[in-house]
Structure 1
């Protein structure tokens, strides 16, 4: 495990787009937030590019990422937004370059693909957290979500409790292990590739957006058939936004789907975490040790920086 160095006032963060094109007006609004935190901001040279549903060609998006990793003046890399496209560049990333220049890497949703690939190739701890153009600039961006960025300025142990939001115990117990995962659809898409997620003895985080119950069912079934739940030490179910079934068709509820796949596991499982496409958005480091306790209804996570 490699912990990136913490940020200091005056440090520079780089913002790039590895997936879909960001709304530049929203991005510039978000830049003000980071400047108020005492940070400088540098944008990727291709961040305004649009190539269909992608933020530039694969080569352009990859170049921006490599440039930020190699640039000694950049202390952290933030992804402007998610969408689609990050997995397209995963196979061409220079993972040795990342290992030689470990720094904070922050994003979620489509960035889940990179979280998994980078952690398993280099051991670097990365962060699942709100992104500039899609979250920081949102009118619902709240104080708790904003406060999550403070964990980057000093080593901070995080404890998620029901003070954030109510939690539901699917399988009781207590467990410890590295926290891994993120967006369910991206995790499922790694199966059968060189970047297939390793869940052995790990606490698996799952969240998603815009996926109706039958779609979530399909992806959970895929993870089950691949043995990912049997290997896990625990499961943390984050937010599943915009998951309502179509009104004109019969459907299981999302809770029933979770019960079918996760309620019978031989490891602790808890749902209701405000981690994902939601506000507040509780940002977490991935790759560090965490403790999940259903009796206390807590998730305690070790610091993600040194």
Structure 2
């Protein structure tokens, strides 16, 4: 495990778009959030480029990533938004450069592919959290989501409990392991590649958006058949936004989760406000976490060091 150093007021963060192009107006609206935290903001050279549904060509997006990693002035990289595209550049990333220049890397959704690839190639802890153009600029951006950034300034242990939102226990127990995961569709897309997610002994966090129950069923089935649920230490079910089947014949999400998780020999809880939702509780990926269904908590070790 490789912990990035914490942020201090006066530090510079780099903002880039490795997937889909951000709404630049919304991105500009989000910048004062970071300056109010005492941070300077440096935008990627190609952040306003578009190439179809991508924020510039693969070469441009990769260049922005490598430039920010190599830039000694930049202490953290915050991704502007998700969308689609990080899987296209994963095989071309210079992971030795990341290992030699460990710094905070923050985002979610399509960024899940990068979280998984970077963690498994370098050991670097990265952060699954709200992004400028897609979340911070949203009028619904709330205090809990905002306060999630505090973990970047101090090595604090996070405790998620029902003070944030109600949690439902699907399988009782207590499990400890490295927290991994993120967006279900991106996790599934790593299977069969050199970046295939490692889940044995891990606490697996899952979330998604815009996927109907049958699609979630399909992806969980693929994870199950690939053996990715066999040796997990726990399952954290985050938010599955916009999953309403609109009165079409369908299993409920609860029925789908019960089918795939209820016979696991590890704790499983649903209802975590992690993902495409508000509040959006940000978490470090790659640190040790404990899921406890007795007191309904998810306790996560710090993601930064002094």
Question: Per the shorter chain, which TM-score range?
Answer: over 0.9
Cα deviations across residues 192-225 of structure 1 (Å, max 9, x unaligned)?
Answer: 0000000010000000000000000000000000
Note the aligned Cα RMSD (angstroms).
0.4
Aligned to 2:50: 50
Q: Runs ≥4 in structure 1, deviation > 4 angstroms?
A: none
SS of 1:181's equivalent in the other structure is strand
Determine helix, strand or coil for the equivalent of 1:199.
coil
What SS does the corresponding residue of 1:229 show, helix, strand or coil? coil
Tell me the SS of whatever aligns to 1:27: helix
CA drift of 1:263 comes to 1.3
Other structure's SS at 2:14 match: strand
| Other-structure match for 2:274 | 275
Match of 1:126 in 2: 126
Aligned to 1:105: 105
- Residue of structure 2 in register with 1:293 after alignment: 292
Pairwise CA distance, 1:275? 0.2
Task: Give the equivalent residue in structure 1 for 2:96.
Answer: 96
The Cα shift of 1:136 comes to 0.4
Q: Which residue pairs with 1:34 in the alignment?
A: 34
TM-score (norm 1): 0.99
| Corresponding residue number in structure 1 for 2:201 | 201
Aligned partners of 2:265, 2:158: CA distance in 1, in Å? 26
Is 1:158 the counterpart of 2:158 in the alignment?
yes
Cα distance in 2, alignment partners of residues 9 and 236 from structure 1? 33
- What does 1:202-217 correspond to in 2, within 5 Å? 202-217=202-217
How far apart, in 1, do the equivalents of 2:263 and 2:20 lie? 37
- Counting only pairs closer than 5 Å after superposition, residues 237-276 of structure 1 correspond to structure 2 as 237-247=237-247, 249-276=248-275
Give the whole-Å Cα distance in 2 for the aligned partners of 1:149 and 1:227: 34
Deviations 1:134-158 (A, max 9, x none): 0000000001110000100010100
- Per-residue deviation, 1:246: 3.1
**Helix, strand or coil: the match of 1:230?**
coil
The residue aligned with 2:24 is 24
CA deviations 1:70-102 (Å, max 9, x no partner) are 000000000000000010000000000000000
- How many residues are treated as equivalent by the alignment? 305
5+ residue gaps, structure 2, are none
